[in-house]
Structure 1
Amino acid sequence: MTATTTTTGPEPSASPGLSKPVGDPPLLEVRNLTVTYGGTVPAVRGVDLRVEAGQKLGIAGESGCGKSTLALALLRLLPAAAKLTGEILLDGEDVLTMKWGRLRAVRWAGASIVFQGAMHSLNAVHRVGDQIAEPILLHNAKATPGGARRRAGELLEQVGLPAARAQAYPHELSGGQRQRVMIAMALACDPRLIVADEPTTALDVMIQAQILRLIEQLVADQDVGLIMISHDLAVLADTCDRLSVMYAGRVVEEGPARQVYAEARHPYGRALSAAFPRIGDPASRRAPRGLPGDPPDPAALPGGCTFHPRCPVALDSCATEDQELREAGGERRAACVLVDAPAADDSRSTS
């Protein structure tokens, strides 16, 4: 899939973007979303999410937990074999019930996505400036080719690249530069929501830090909502306001990002946090600890709590009794039978 092929234009009568209905709903509200492949393989299982304008939500988990499937489901970019149920409300309008013309109008103009792997998402035989200009021309009936190209140059400068790089082909850019092009494309039609799927994958730490600061600044300056997906809990804790941890297609913990990273209530959240070094923290001089075992096969999920085969504190009942998200103190929820609400002053810890 390339960014250019997924950017199809609306009919002339369709208005791009999303109109704000009466009642001021959240920017994005996902209710009981399930994604099933082939009719039997559940990749996403009953996920609920909520994002306000200007809020940054992180989604973390190992490879295979359903993060990228969730990202693509938000704009119905999954293959036809995927069955989606539930609700995906963008400004109160359900993406899953939109007719095709309305859906094309909403993509890029109402919500956009920074795909994982910029080299594979950009069209190798078109200049990057033309690829940024394409959604502008498709979603703005008044745009001219010259005006769209000028806007592409402005967007490149906004993400820290010279406007002259619009004439470059993707292979002529570094990995960090290509990622900046993808971010510029995501901003081309002034969306209210940006979904960033592993935006810093395969970048060195210096470029990664630059990209993360850029995303943070753009969200703050333009008051857009952000969903950032990554396996790196430390990056999400430093970048996002809230954090949802996924395992086997479900959210098993959610709450203020720094609280979840520092004091996860679910054993899986604690294991993810322990897998990353705490550089500069004199109280933590231990080596990172890995989590034994592998995520379960979605086609053969274990009974009860799906994490129990790898859980160091599992009870006998965990093999037969599934757990729903429950209050875990400090505006947090976790899907674990061992979760107990902490003392009142613990809930006042800094988020």
Structure 2
Amino acid sequence: MTATTTTTGPEPSASPDLSKPVGDPPLLEVRNLTVTYGGTVPAVRGVDLRVEAGQKLGIAGESGCGKSTLALALLRLLPATAKLTGEILLDGEDVLTMKWGRLRAVRWAGASIVFQGAMHSLNAVHRVGDQIAEPILLHNAKATPAAARKRAGELLEQVGLPAARAQAYPHELSGGQRQRVMIAMALACDPRLIVADEPTTALDVMIQAQILRLIERLVADQDVGLIMISHDLAVLADTCDRLSVMYAGRVVEEGPARQVYAEARHPYGRALSAAFPRIGDPASRRAPRGLPGDPPDPAALPGGCTFHPRCPVALDSCATEDQELREAGGERRAACVLVDAPAADDSRSTS
């Protein structure tokens, strides 16, 4: 892994426990979700997630760890070759058992997604205002084309663009502007949950910061749930309430975002954290350190703990014994045999 952004490292802080049932069902609850391609290739393996209204959940990991597959699975946007099992409960209703008409009604209105790569997600031959208005017209039978276009202009202003930019084509906008259009589209039908898949990919750090602050403000103002996916642990720690770290299709660590970033209990989480500089922290003035190797091929996963071939603190037993998530103190869980031991020294975590 290599560092691509520079972010001030946050200090550990307390976070309310949002992982336990509290009366009403959560906005989103994922139970033992698996996604298999072609009947034999497991891309997501037994993932459990929980998101409350107004909560921001970050999902981190390298490319190939199953993050985007998980995001697309939440609204059944995967190709027909993907087999999904488990439960995806949105407001208590299982997305995986919805009939097509109900699923179509839930997309955009119940939950929406900001896709990775706005230029590839927007239609190049349609004006952006028309693309924002389209889901409004599809989901609101009483909406007129004129009202939908007016609403599109309002949404553009809400995300920091002039309403007049509704007349622009995608190629006439900058990368940051296109990303704002995608966010406006995701908000068009007032969803209760937004899934943002790498929303700041390919943006410079100044625009990245603006987009992240925009997302935070919109979530707070509208009390929607947010799932933000990124390889950048520092960005997620600065933006989200809780954080789940994925490796080889599974969650290997979860807990309050800033605690996981500052003092991860799983060796993979520590390696991700060490890959980014912490500006302004005299105690951490060191060059970012990468983790040798790559995530395993889902079609040929190693035995035991899937991280053990790259793990600097692996035991002999790690090659044969898989590890489930276990309590790691407070509201944190980690899938590591060493989780009960003191956190390994940072110098060992990426050597």
Shared fold by TM > 0.5?
yes
Q: What residue in structure 2 maps to residue 190 of structure 1?
A: 190
Aligned equivalents of 1:278, 1:6: Cα separation in 2: 7
- CA-CA distance at 1:21 after TM superposition: 15
Aligned equivalents of 1:308, 1:128: Cα separation in 2: 47
Q: What residue in structure 2 maps to residue 245 of structure 1?
A: 245
Aligned equivalents of 1:6, 1:109: Cα separation in 2: 35
Q: 1:290 to 1:335 in 2, by over 3 A?
A: same
Q: What residue in structure 1 maps to residue 111 of structure 2?
A: 111
Stretches (4+) displaced over 3 A: 1-23, 341-351
- CA-CA distance at 1:206 after TM superposition: 0.3
Q: 1:306 to 1:4 in 2, by over 3 A?
A: closer
Q: Is the 8 A contact 2:255 2:332 kept in 1?
A: yes
Equivalent residue of 2:134, what SS? helix
Q: What residue in structure 1 maps to residue 269 of structure 2?
A: 269
Aligned equivalents of 1:5, 1:259: Cα separation in 2: 20
Q: 1:321 to 1:345 in 2, by over 3 A?
A: closer
Q: Is the 8 A contact 1:330 1:349 kept in 2?
A: no
Deviates more, 1:246-255 or 1:335-344: 335-344
Q: Is the 8 A contact 1:305 1:321 kept in 2?
A: yes
Equivalent residue of 2:57, what SS? strand
Aligned equivalents of 2:273, 2:22: Cα separation in 1: 41
Q: Is the 8 A contact 2:3 2:288 kept in 1?
A: no
Q: 1:13 to 1:299 in 2, by over 3 A?
A: closer
Q: Is the 8 A contact 2:116 2:197 kept in 1?
A: yes
Q: Is the 8 A contact 1:156 1:166 kept in 2?
A: yes
- CA-CA distance at 1:24 after TM superposition: 1.9
- CA-CA distance at 1:276 after TM superposition: 0.4
Equivalent residue of 1:190, what SS? coil
Q: 1:234 to 1:15 in 2, by over 3 A?
A: closer
Aligned equivalents of 2:316, 2:127: Cα separation in 1: 59
Q: Is the 8 A contact 1:16 1:106 kept in 2?
A: no
Aligned equivalents of 1:14, 1:146: Cα separation in 2: 47
Q: 1:64 to 1:150 in 2, by over 3 A?
A: same
Q: Is the 8 A contact 1:9 1:105 kept in 2?
A: no
Q: Is the 8 A contact 2:33 2:84 kept in 1?
A: yes
Q: What residue in structure 1 maps to residue 93 of structure 2?
A: 93
> TM-score, length-normalised on structure 1?
0.91
Q: Is the 8 A contact 1:7 1:108 kept in 2?
A: no
Deviations 1:254-282 (A, max 9, x none): 00000000000000000000000001111
Q: Is the 8 A contact 2:27 2:53 kept in 1?
A: yes
Aligned equivalents of 2:288, 2:174: Cα separation in 1: 31
Q: What residue in structure 2 maps to residue 56 of structure 1?
A: 56
Deviations 1:163-216 (A, max 9, x none): 000000000000000000000000000000000000000000000000000000
Q: 1:309 to 1:13 in 2, by over 3 A?
A: closer
Q: Is the 8 A contact 1:2 1:123 kept in 2?
A: no
Q: 1:150 to 1:124 in 2, by over 3 A?
A: same
Aligned equivalents of 2:252, 2:115: Cα separation in 1: 25
Report % sequence identity: 98
- CA-CA distance at 1:8 after TM superposition: 41
RMSD: 8.9
Q: Is the 8 A contact 2:132 2:188 kept in 1?
A: yes
The number of residue pairs the alignment matches comes to 351
Structure 1 gap segments, 5+ residues each: none
Q: 1:302 to 1:119 in 2, by over 3 A?
A: same
- CA-CA distance at 1:19 after TM superposition: 22
Q: 1:75 to 1:5 in 2, by over 3 A?
A: farther
Aligned equivalents of 1:181, 1:19: Cα separation in 2: 32
Aligned equivalents of 2:10, 2:292: Cα separation in 1: 48
Equivalent residue of 1:344, what SS? coil
> TM-score, length-normalised on structure 2?
0.91
Deviations 1:123-171 (A, max 9, x none): 0000000000000000001100000000000000000000000000000
Q: 1:11 to 1:96 in 2, by over 3 A?
A: farther
Q: 1:93 to 1:19 in 2, by over 3 A?
A: farther
Q: Is the 8 A contact 1:58 1:242 kept in 2?
A: yes
